[in-house]
Amino acid sequence: MKLKKELGLFDVFAISTGAMFSSGFFLLPGLASSHSGPSVILAYLLAAILIMPAMFSIAEISTALPRSGGAYFFLDRSMGPLMGTVGGIGTYIALLLKTAFALVGIGAYAAIFWDIPIKETAVAFGVVFTLLNIFGARKSSGVQKIFVIILLVILGAFITDGIWNIFGSSNSSVSFDKNEFNPFFTFGFEGLFFTTGFVFVSYLGLTQIASVAEEIKNPERNIPLGMILSLIVTALIYVLGIFIMVAVIDNNSLAKDLSPAATAVENLFSWLPGKTGLYIIVVAAVMAFASTGNAGMLATSRYPLAMGRDKLFSDKFTAISRFGTPVPAILLTSALIILFIVVLTEEGIVKLASTFQLFIFMVINFSVIVFRNSKIASYDPGYHSPLYPYMQIFGILSSLVLMFYMGFWPVAFTAITIFLAYLWYRFFVRSKVKREGAIFHWFALLGKYQHDDLENEFLTILREKGLRQDDPFNQTIVRSKVSFKSGLLFIDLVNQVAKDISKEIQFDSKKLKNEFLETNSINSAFLIPEISVLTAKVPEIEHPVMHIVISESGISKPIHKNGFKSEDVIKVFFFLINDEENPRRQLRMLSGIMDIAERDHFVKDMLACTTNREVIEYLLHDKQYISIKLEKDNPTEVFMDKKLMQVQLPPDVLVVLVERNNSFFAPNGKTLLQENDTITIIGSTHSINEMVDQYILEK
């Protein structure tokens, strides 16, 4: 059972942003400044810049392969199940720790004013977020959006008031003191680079989007745009907010402060009575930690789901509830988070989580290089990382440098985690998994082994993603030629169609015939009884071309695969031709045909069609078309004896076919409409419904 696609652009922004504004703003600035001094401001900016290669790589792979599992799925499908196991287990642990840390932060900030136990409060919030995630990603992300909106308003007020008090108000008790920024590099560049790696964890919310990619609507737009907007907003608030903290808190005090935002606000919001400003920032902190905990629970729980699907975990974690959520995976994640809350502390966790994530970012950047060099046609990202491969190489090298500066023990922890994950793969996974990654397709270019099932999986994902908005699918259907044939051999049919199309596109018919015959194989991703799609790619074709052949008696089509020979009786043939420079659009067009062909009673309905127009209208049938016969003495009379350009139609509809004297053609603006013409119009559902009311129901 697939997860529901319920998350839009603002959901993406909210999950990503909400997962970043917690420890990064309310807790880490003080700890980070103890290693760098005032240059902590620059460290946050550098971290935002250095995470960009990983962000662009994640966005590209997520739009090509929108599947739950995030980094695990990417690494598994690019470099095989061993690296998938290492990346999946390691990233899962890192995200568990980060989420647990966020929940502890709720209790820590709440304890400033209320006498409540910190860890018990964190556990209670963990239970609440578990229930929210069980009842649906949409409900969970709805809470997330409320958190993020409130949080952005409060932090915006904090920054505005801080900048005004520092630079604009003559009555403020706070003013800009350059001495607070000297020496800027208190511990030199070594301290700066260490701090950059240390605060890297502040931006990890960006990566959580990949974990819920399967549940995002229109992922090719919403994933990259949501991540980019989130990074811009987050980096801006981090840099400005921490500048204010450095400006209003003494350097020595800041280095020891575990609640620097609360300390800074004591010098701000003087226009509010009493401790109102402090209460507001504590509420913001609790909101931030809560949003991080909620988003962390949502994203992290998808790792056991994805790994269970691939037999790296028990398949019990693949179960989807009636709410469309992976309940066993959520419960496991919740239990581990609560365990970490009870037994662990804080600062070391940040170092360990950051170091391992730097390793994961390094191999994710390499994954993009692997996918592109694998030449798998069905790897079809809707977003391409800029400056490839230099962006990815820069990301790999910068991650290595920052890992070096993090010190021995964090790197040792990363190495130990990798080793334990290897042991898990070696003794539990390897005997169950026969899959290899895209890297073997890269090796295949050198004559080595490749894993064919990977391409079929990518084709299946491509089908689920569907067509893009700019794919000329409906136009191709409208322009298609329809033939009704019987009593032919398959080879004769292919020869006839190739000759017909070659005249239309000015291409050699023998080459076209050979192209069609090369597609005559079994493909598990696009196999439907009594239906066959034969494809060809030719150079410099202006637009896709499709011919449809319907045979009531059926035509026997031979099939050959790995020495296996058989025949299928085919009643509906699609011949699809596309430009050879755009093979991925060919696959998307193919997936569009398959979506139509999977309708109930498709073959029976196609055989019931008796004219070209009926076939094309049936293929277009999605409540976005209408056919109108022009007759006297009814509302359609207004179309008669007019050029198409003179006819008043809604702006979002288009006349695509005219049937006249048992033949049909595609009209242009100068086409003169005549009595008894039947015109086919496509457009928005709203406008088509209005035309039905006006020209059909009013007859």
Q: Specify the CATH number for the domain of residue 689.
A: 3.30.70.1450
Give the domain extent around 218.
Answer: 9-427
| Structure confidence at residue 26 (pLDDT) | 85
Same domain, 66 and 96: yes
Same domain, 266 and 360: yes
Instruction: With a cut of 80, say whether residue 472 has pLDDT above it.
Output: no
| Structure confidence at residue 136 (pLDDT) | 61
Q: How many domains does the chain have?
A: 3
Note whether residue 210 is domain-resident.
yes
What mean pLDDT comes out for the span 362-371?
89
Instruction: With a cut of 50, say whether residue 521 has pLDDT above it.
Output: no
Same domain, 147 and 244: yes
Note whether residue 568 is domain-resident.
yes
Note whether residue 434 is domain-resident.
no
pLDDT-derived band at 455, boundaries 50, 70, 90: low
Instruction: With a cut of 70, say whether residue 399 has pLDDT above it.
Output: yes
Same domain, 403 and 498: no
Same domain, 600 and 658: no
| Structure confidence at residue 302 (pLDDT) | 76
Note whether residue 443 is domain-resident.
no
Note whether residue 45 is domain-resident.
yes
Same domain, 683 and 596: no
CB environment 658-678: b (16+ within 10 A), e (fewer): bbbeeebeebeeebebeeebb
Say if CB 70 and CB 210 are below 8 A apart.
yes
How many CA atoms are closer than 13 Å to the CA of 387, on its beta-carbon side? 11
Distance CA 405, CA 407 (A): 5
Whole-Å CA distances, 270 to 237, 245, 275: 21, 16, 9
For residue 548, the tally of other CB atoms under 10 A from its CB is 23
Note whether residue 459 is domain-resident.
no
| Structure confidence at residue 546 (pLDDT) | 92
| Structure confidence at residue 180 (pLDDT) | 72
Distance CA 586, CA 571 (A): 22
What CATH number should be reported for the domain holding residue 521?
A: 3.40.930.10
Same domain, 644 and 609: no
pTM above 0.75, yes or no: no
What CATH number should be reported for the domain holding residue 159?
A: 1.20.1740.10
pLDDT in tens, 260-269: 888 888 878 8
Same domain, 646 and 538: no
Find the range with the poorest average confidence among 177-181, 395-399, 487-491: 177-181
- Strands 481-484 and 545-561, by their bridges, are parallel
pLDDT-derived band at 598, boundaries 50, 70, 90: confident
What mean pLDDT comes out for the span 22-35?
84
* More confident site: 14 or 226: 226
| Structure confidence at residue 304 (pLDDT) | 83
What mean pLDDT comes out for the span 45-51?
94
| Structure confidence at residue 574 (pLDDT) | 93
Q: Which residues pair with 481 in a beta bridge?
A: 547
Where does a domain end: 405, 427, 449? 427
For the chain, give the number of residues. Answer: 699
Where does a domain end: 615, 645, 680? 615
Same domain, 507 and 376: no
Instruction: With a cut of 80, say whether residue 696 has pLDDT above it.
Output: no
Instruction: With a cut of 90, say whether residue 233 has pLDDT above it.
Output: yes
| Structure confidence at residue 234 (pLDDT) | 93
Instruction: With a cut of 70, say whether residue 230 has pLDDT above it.
Output: yes
Instruction: With a cut of 80, say whether residue 214 has pLDDT above it.
Output: no
pLDDT-derived band at 456, boundaries 50, 70, 90: low
Average pLDDT, the chain: 81
Same domain, 248 and 213: yes
Distance CA 335, CA 349 (A): 18
Those residues with Cβ within 8 angstroms of residue 657's Cβ, 6 or more apart along the chain or in another chain? 478, 613, 616, 664, 665, 666, 667, 679, 680
Instruction: With a cut of 70, say whether residue 523 has pLDDT above it.
Output: no
* More confident site: 395 or 318: 395
Note whether residue 206 is domain-resident.
yes
| Structure confidence at residue 365 (pLDDT) | 92
Find the range with the poorest average confidence among 118-127, 141-150, 257-266, 549-558: 141-150
Where does a domain end: 427, 447, 478? 427
Same domain, 60 and 167: yes
Those residues with Cβ within 8 angstroms of residue 563's Cβ, 6 or more apart along the chain or in another chain? none
Note whether residue 458 is domain-resident.
no
pLDDT-derived band at 238, boundaries 50, 70, 90: very high
The C-alpha torsion from 155 through 161 and 165 to 169, rounded to 10°, is: 160
Same domain, 534 and 649: no
* More confident site: 40 or 357: 40
Instruction: With a cut of 70, say whether residue 561 has pLDDT above it.
Output: no
pLDDT in tens, 56-91: 999 898 888 877 666 767 777 788 788 878 877 777
- Is the sign of the CA dihedral 230, 234, 236, 237 positive or negative? positive
